[in-house]
Amino acid sequence: MQKELSVQNRLKKISAVIPAYNEEKRIVDVINKTKKFVDEVLVIDDCSTDNTGAAAKNSGAKVLSNPKNRGYIQSLKRGFKNVSGDIIVT
């Protein structure tokens, strides 16, 4: 008979929240490196004027786009509300 895993022994899902503004040239590398360590990558595109959001999505990240530039902290807060992980890293 197998023991049930206690809450402390369960595997935790890890999510990364990455706010980004005009990072089209760098976001793909950041996402690819981050995916090695987490279960979910969420990029908050902070109303970029380049193709940051599309590049992030094409790299396998979940992307939320702010309709106007909200800044780093507000983007982080939005990300925290929209990830499914038990542990969140930035």
Task: Give residue-wise pLDDT tens across range 77-87.
Answer: 999 999 999 99
On the question of pLDDT at 33 being above 70, the answer is yes
Domains of the chain, start order = 15-89 (3.40.50)
pLDDT(2) > 80 = no
Q: Which residues contact 34 (CB under 8 A, 6 or more apart)?
A: 16, 18, 41
Split at pLDDT 50, 70, 90, the class of 8 is low
Q: Which ranges of the chain does DSSP label H, i.e. alpha helix?
A: 27-35, 52-58, 72-81
pLDDT digits (tens, 9 = 90+) for 42-61: 999 999 999 999 999 999 99
pTM: 0.87
